[in-house]
Structure 1
Amino acid sequence: MLATFTQVADAQSTHSIQKGETLSSIGDQYSIPAAAIKRSNNLSSEHLIAGETLTIPAVVSQNEKELLARLVHAEAKGESYAGKVAVATVVLNRVDSDLFPDSVNDVVYERSASGHYAFSPVLDGSISNTADSESTRAVEEALQFRGQGQNSLYFYNPETATSKWVSTREQTIVIGNHVFAK
C-alpha cells in the first residue's frame, strides 16, 4: 500500500493518530521524516494523542527528486555541498508551507503575480540540464532532514539579485554566495 500512496500523493494528506503511534512510526509509514510531520503540525513535543489528526507533508516522487536535483545543480553550481542542501531545503520548506504550492513540481514552476518564475533556471532553460551526482546527493540529504533547520523559504545572491524585496526578509543563514531568509 505504501508504494501506491507514494505514487499518487502530490499534496499533503491527513493521518488519524492511533493509540501507541509515535511521530517516528507515522513518519516511517509515509516515508516522511518525523521532524517534517512535527513541523507541519506545529508540534512542540513528541507527545501524540490518539484520535487527533495530523497533516502529513507531501511525498516527493522520483520525478520530483530529479527535477529538484536539476534545480539545485542550476541554482547552486559552484557552491558548497552545504549550499546545495540548503537550496533543496528551501524548495521542500515551500512545499510544506501554506504560502506556496503543495508539490515540488508546482513550487519549481510557480509564477509570481507579475508572471515571473520564482527560480531563474526555469526562465533561462538551465532547469533542463542534467544534475550532477553532488546535487542528487544534496536532494537526498535535504529529504532526510526535512522539517529541520532554519525554516528558510527564500535564497538569493546579493551580487546578482534583481529584486529588492527579498533582501527585506529575515536572514537565517549565509552559505557561500547565497543568503537564505524566511
Structure 2
Amino acid sequence: MFKKFKFIGAALAALFTFTATAEASEAYTVKSGETLWSIGMEHGVSVLELKEINQKDSLHVNEGEQLKIPESISTQERDLLERIVSAEAEGESYAGKVAVATVVLNRVKSDEFPDSIKEVIYEVSPTGNPTFSPVSDGSINQPADEESKKAVKEALAFEGQGSGSLFFYNPSIASNHWISTRETTSVIGNHVFAK
C-alpha cells in the first residue's frame, strides 16, 4: 500500500514539474527571416534549449510558426553579467566580450564553481581575494556599455556550444602563473582562455 502512494506521489510531482516548466516558457510567433539563432539572441536564451524545447533538429523556422521560449536569466543576473563583462573586457573586441561572458556561464554549469552568476562573480579565491579584479577595484559597479550588453545576449544564445573555457587571463599582467598550466582553448585580444 505504501509503495502505491509513493508511486502516485512521484507521478504527481513529475506532472507538477512538467506543468511548471511549460508555464515558465513564453509563446513566440516567428517573423519573416528569423532563425533560432536570431530568436535566441533577441531573447537571450540558449539556441540549444530553444531546439530542445521546440523539438527542432535545425536552426530553420517558418514564418508564423509558434515557438516556446525558455526562461532566461533574471534581469538582475543579466545586469551583473553585463557589468562584469564591461569591466573585465574593457578595450577588448566584441568577440573577447562574448568569451568573457561565456566563461562566467560555463562556471555556473561546472561542478568546480558556484551555481549562480552572482556567486561565480563574487567568488573569493583561496588567497582571500575576489577571483574577478573588477570586484576588487569596484569597476563592476559601473553601468555596462551597449556592446557588453549585446555580447551577453550572444553568450546566452551560444551557451553550451563553445570549447568549455572556465578561465581567462592576460599573460602580460597575470601574477598567478598556475593559470598558464591549464589547456588553452583560444586567444582573443589580450586574453588567453583556458579550461
TM-score exceeds 0.5: yes
Q: Alignment partner for residue 101 of structure 1, among 114, 117, 131?
A: 114
Whole-Å Cα distance in 2 between the matches of residues 34 and 156 of structure 1? 27
Whole-Å Cα distance in 2 between the matches of residues 101 and 74 of structure 1? 21
Whole-Å Cα distance in 2 between the matches of residues 4 and 125 of structure 1? 39
* 1:43-97 Cα shifts (integer Å, max 9, x gaps): xxx8xxxxxxxxxxx9521111110100000000110000000000000000011
Identity %: 58
Report the Cα offset of residue 120 of structure 1: 0.2
Aligned structure 1 segments of 4 or more residues deviating by more than 6 angstroms = none
Whole-Å Cα distance in 2 between the matches of residues 109 and 168 of structure 1? 24
Residue 168 of structure 1: aligned partner: 181
Structure 2 counterpart of 1:93, one-letter code:
N
Residue 83 of structure 1: aligned partner: 96
Report the Cα offset of residue 115 of structure 1: 1.1
Structure 1 counterpart of 2:151, one-letter code:
A
Structure 2 length normalisation: TM-score?
Answer: 0.66
Structure 1 counterpart of 2:159, one-letter code:
R
Q: What secondary structure does 2:85 align onto?
A: helix
Residue 158 of structure 2: aligned partner: 145
Structure 1 length normalisation: TM-score?
Answer: 0.71
Report the Cα offset of residue 162 of structure 1: 1.1
Q: Extract unaligned runs of 5+ from structure 2.
A: 1-19, 26-35, 51-56, 58-70
Task: Report how many residues are paired.
Answer: 142
Residue 41 of structure 1: aligned partner: none
Whole-Å Cα distance in 2 between the matches of residues 134 and 3 of structure 1? 32
Whole-Å Cα distance in 2 between the matches of residues 34 and 85 of structure 1? 15
Higher helix share: 2
Residue 92 of structure 1: aligned partner: 105
Output the aligned Cα RMSD.
2.7
Contact between 2:85 and 2:100, CA under 8 Å: does it hold in 1?
yes
Q: What secondary structure does 2:105 align onto?
A: helix
Whole-Å Cα distance in 2 between the matches of residues 161 and 79 of structure 1? 16
1:113 aligns with 2:126: yes
Q: Alignment partner for residue 125 of structure 1, among 115, 135, 138?
A: 138
Q: Extract unaligned runs of 5+ from structure 1.
A: 7-23, 38-45, 47-57
